[in-house]
Chain A
Amino acid sequence: MSYLELLKLAAPEAIVVVTALVVLTIGLTTARALVLGPIVAVLGVALAIGAILILPAHANLFGGMLVISPLNSLFKIICLALAIATVPLVSSEKSLRNPGEYIAVLLLGSVGLMLLVGSEELLMIFIGLELLGLSLYVLAAFDKTDVGSAEAGLKYFLFGSTASAFTLFGISLIYGMSGTTALAAIGQKLTTLPLQPLLAVGIVMTLIGFAFKIAAAPFHLWAPDAYQGAPIPSAAFIASGSKVASFVVLGKIVLVGFGPVHGSADWHAMVAGWSPVLAALAALSILLGNFVALAQTNVRRLLAYSAVAHGGYTLLGLVAGGREGFSATLFYTSIYAVTLIGAFAVVGAVRRETGGDNLQNFSGLGAWSPLLAACMSIFFLSLAGLPPLAGFFGKFYLFSAAFRAGGNHGLLWLVVVALFGSFVSLYYYLIVLKVIFVDRQSPSTPQPGQSNARAARTSDLNVSTSSDVFSRITVTLLAAVVLFLGVMPQTLAAKIIASLP
Chain B
Amino acid sequence: MIAWTIYITFVGAIVLLVLPRVFARWIALVTATAGFAVSLATFFCDDVDLAHFTTIVRVPWFPALGMNYHLALDGISLTLVLVTGIAAISAVLFSWDVTDRANEFFFWLLLVVGGSYGVFLSADLFLLFLFYELVIVPKYFLIAIFGSTNKEYGAMKLTLYSFFGGALVFLGIIAAYVSGGSLDLNQLAQFQFAPQLQSWAFPVLFLGFAVLAGIWPLHTWAPTGHVAAPTAGSMLLAGIVMKLGAYAALRVAMNLFPQGFQMWRTWIAVLAVIGIVYAAAVALRQRDLKFVIGYSSVSHMGFVLLGLATANVFGVSGAVLQMFSHGVIGALLFAVAGRMIYRRTHTRELDALAGMNLRQTLPFAAFTFVIASAASMGIPGFSGFAAEITILIGAWKSYPVAVWITGAGMVLVAAFTLRALKRAFFDVDGESAAPSDDVKQIPAPSAQVTSSAERSIHLEPITVPEKLGAGLLMFATLAVGLYPKFLLDRIQPAVEAMRFLK
Interface residue ranges, A against B (CB under 8 Å): 381, 386-388, 392, 396-397, 399-400, 403-404, 409, 415-416, 419-420, 422-423, 426-427, 430, 434, 437-438, 489-490, 493-494, 497
Contact = CB atoms under 8 A, between A and B. Distances in A.
Given A392-B130, A437-B141, A438-B141, A419 B167 contact: yes
Contacts of B64: 490, 493-494, 497
B59 interface: no
Given A403-B178, A434-B156, A438-B144, 16 more contacts: A387-B134, A392-B133, A396-B126, A397-B65, A399-B170, A400-B177, A400-B178, A403-B174, A416-B171, A419-B167, A423-B166, A426-B160, A430-B140, A430-B156, A437-B141, A493-B64
Interface in B132-183: 133-134, 136-137, 140-141, 144-145, 152, 156, 159-160, 163-164, 166-167, 170-171, 174-175, 177-178
A416 B130 CA distance: 20
B144 A434 contact: yes
A489 B131 CA distance: 16
Contacts of B159: 426, 430
Nearest to B177: A400
**What does DSSP make chain B's interface, helix, strand, loop or mixed?**
helix
B44 interface: no
Interface string B58-96: 000111110000000000000000000000000000000
Nearest to A434: B144
17 contacts: A387-B131, A388-B130, A396-B170, A400-B174, A403-B175, A403-B178, A409-B175, A415-B171, A416-B171, A419-B167, A420-B167, A422-B167, A427-B160, A434-B144, A437-B145, A438-B141, A490-B64
Nearest to A374: B17
B342 interface: no
A386 B162 CA distance: 12
A387 B126 CA distance: 10
Given A404-B178, A415-B171, A493 B160 contact: no
Contacts of B156: 427, 430, 434
B129 interface: yes
Contacts of B62: 489-490, 493
A416 B204 CA distance: 11
A419 B170 contact: yes
Contacts of A430: 140, 156, 159
Contacts of B170: 396, 399, 419
A293 to B, nearest CB: 15
Nearest to B63: A490
Contacts of A437: 141, 144-145
Contact of A386 (B61, B137, B152, B160): B137
A438 B152 contact: yes
A98 to B, nearest CB: 42
Contacts of B166: 423
Contacts of A387: 129-131, 133-134
Contacts of A392: 130, 133
Contacts of A409: 175, 178
Contacts of B167: 419-420, 422-423
Contacts of B163: 423, 426
B126 A434 contact: no
B221 to A, nearest CB: 14
A411 to B, nearest CB: 11
Interface of A is mostly: helix
Contacts, number: 69
Interface residues of B, number: 31
Nearest to A381: B137
Interface string B38-73: 000000000000000000000001111100000000
A430 B158 CA distance: 12
Contacts of B65: 397
A498 to B, nearest CB: 10
Contact of A415 (B137, B144, B145, B174): B174
Interface in B104-143: 126, 129-131, 133-134, 136-137, 140-141
A490 B170 CA distance: 20
B134 A388 contact: yes
Nearest to A367: B101
Nearest to A387: B130
A376 to B, nearest CB: 13
A400 B170 CA distance: 10
Contacts of B61: 490
A437 B131 CA distance: 22
- CB-based closest 7 A-B pairs: A387-B130, A423-B167, A490-B62, A419-B167, A404-B178, A438-B144, A426-B163
A419 B144 contact: no
A416 B177 CA distance: 16
Most buried by A among B64, B131, B136, B175: B64
Most buried by A among B130, B133, B166, B174: B174
A35 B167 CA distance: 46
A441 to B, nearest CB: 15
B301 to A, nearest CB: 23
Contacts of B129: 387
Contacts of A403: 174-175, 178
Contacts of A415: 171, 174
Contacts of B126: 396
A488 to B, nearest CB: 8
Nearest to B115: A387
B164 to A, nearest CB: 6
A415 B177 CA distance: 14
Interface string B271-291: 000000000000000000000
B146 to A, nearest CB: 10
A416 B175 CA distance: 11
A320 B130 CA distance: 25
A357 B135 CA distance: 30
A422 B169 CA distance: 13
A426 B156 CA distance: 10
Interface string B306-323: 000000000000000000
A403 B178 CA distance: 7
Nearest to B170: A419
Nearest to A404: B178
Given A386-B133, A420-B167, A399 B160 contact: no
A223 B178 CA distance: 35
A399 B174 contact: yes
B104 to A, nearest CB: 8
B141 to A, nearest CB: 6
A420 B204 CA distance: 13
B106 to A, nearest CB: 15
A377 to B, nearest CB: 8
B164 A423 contact: yes
Contacts of A493: 62, 64
B36 to A, nearest CB: 24
Nearest to A490: B62
A430 B65 CA distance: 30
B11 to A, nearest CB: 15
A248 to B, nearest CB: 20
Contacts of A388: 130, 134
Contacts of B134: 386-388
